[in-house]
């Protein structure tokens, strides 16, 4: 039984090189997430606050996004580490929860070594409901695409 359960649990991660500073990107992904639909309109269609304050631990937000089809996701901020430009979110409801028992997203933005810009690290920790469910590689790619669009938006504001 233990073996079967462990094959359903996974971690995937990737990094994206961006031109924005770690602070700007972290601020957009945490404190100004309601601006993300205007930064990435083809992929992110809406962001609505349900509970708490935007950018605060415990706040709950619903996203409308396009990932192969229109989809919805409700998430809660689990932790924020502004000093290290890191934050963790737990998916509570929505399309993802049709395929996963749990889904936790962490990102961290670090400065590039010796040059302007940042490296954005995405980390997904999840448990699939069964073996038929694919690992969320396409969702990781979606995060990369949104990151690039947010970066371009932030750079155009400078």
Query: Would you place residue 157 in the very low, low, confident or very high pLDDT band (cuts 50, 70, 90)?
Result: confident
Q: Are 34 and 158 in contact (CB under 8 A)?
A: no
Distances (CA, A) of 44 to 7, 63, 70, 105, 131: 31, 7, 9, 17, 29
Determine the average pLDDT of the residues in 45-60.
96
For the whole prediction, is pTM greater than 0.85? yes
Sorted by sequence, the CB contacts under 8 Å of residue 8 that are 6+ apart come out as: 101, 127, 128, 129, 130, 131
Q: Residue 98 CB: number of other CB atoms within 10 A?
A: 9
Query: Would you place residue 21 in the very low, low, confident or very high pLDDT band (cuts 50, 70, 90)?
Result: very high
Can you give the pLDDT at residue 1?
Answer: 40
The share of the chain scoring above pLDDT 90, in percent, equals 94
Q: Is 128 helix (H, G, I), strand (E, B) or coil?
A: strand
User: Counting Cβ atoms within 10 Å, is residue 107 exposed (0-12), middle (13-18) or buried (19+)?
Assistant: buried
Mean residue pLDDT across the chain: 94
Sorted by sequence, the CB contacts under 8 Å of residue 146 that are 6+ apart come out as: 36, 40, 43, 44
> Which of the residue ranges 5-9, 115-119, 152-156 would you say has the lowest mean pLDDT?
5-9
pLDDT (tens digit per residue) in 68-85:
999 999 999 999 999 999
| Span 8-155 CATH architecture | 2-Layer Sandwich (3.30)
């Amino acid at each position: 039984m233990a073996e079967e359960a462990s094959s359903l649990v996974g971690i995937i991660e990737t990094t994206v090189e961006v031109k924005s500073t770690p602070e700007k990107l972290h601020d957009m992904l945490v404190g100004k997430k309601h601006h993300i639909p205007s930064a990435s309109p083809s992929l992110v269609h809406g962001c609505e606050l349900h509970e708490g304050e935007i950018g605060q631990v415990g706040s709950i937000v619903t996203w409308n996004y396009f990932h192969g089809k229109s989809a919805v996701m409700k998430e809660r901020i689990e932790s924020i580490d502004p000093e290290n430009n890191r934050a963790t979110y737990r998916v509570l409801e929505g399309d993802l929860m049709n395929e996963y028992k749990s889904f936790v997203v962490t990102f961290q933005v670090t400065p590039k070594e010796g040059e302007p810009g940042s490296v954005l690290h995405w980390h997904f920790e999840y448990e699939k409901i069964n073996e038929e469910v694919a690992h969320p590689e396409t969702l990781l790619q979606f995060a990369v695409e949104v990151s690039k669009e947010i970066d371009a938006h932030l750079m155009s504001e400078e």
